[in-house]
Amino acid sequence: MKPSELRELSDDALAAKAKDLAEERFKLKFQHGIRPLENTSNLHELKKDLARVKTIINERSVSK
């Protein structure tokens, strides 16, 4: 997702998005440990998206 799209979300929606991304990343890492994934770039994309969400949550908490 683009940061501009994430900034439009509410605080609760961002927290839920972060939780969902973390769970999805955990599942993919677990599957990758069992057998190789067909598309390993999904792990990298999820990691970046989770970092973007956490950054925006942190920006909002600092500015308050």
Tell me the C-alpha distance between 13 and 40, whole Å: 27
pTM for the model: 0.89
Indicate whether 64 pLDDT > 80: no
Left if phi > 0, otherwise alpha if psi is -120 to 50, otherwise beta: which for 52?
alpha
Per the structure, how many domains does the chain have? 1
pLDDT value at residue 60: 93
Give 1-57 pLDDT, tens digit per residue: 899 999 999 999 999 999 999 999 999 999 999 999 999 999 999 999 999 999 999
What's the domain range around 13?
Answer: 3-63
Rounded to an integer, what distance in angstroms lies between the CA atom of residue 17 and that of residue 64? Answer: 21
Distance, CA of 12 to CA of 36 (rounded, Å): 34
We report the CATH number of the domain holding residue 18 as 1.10.287
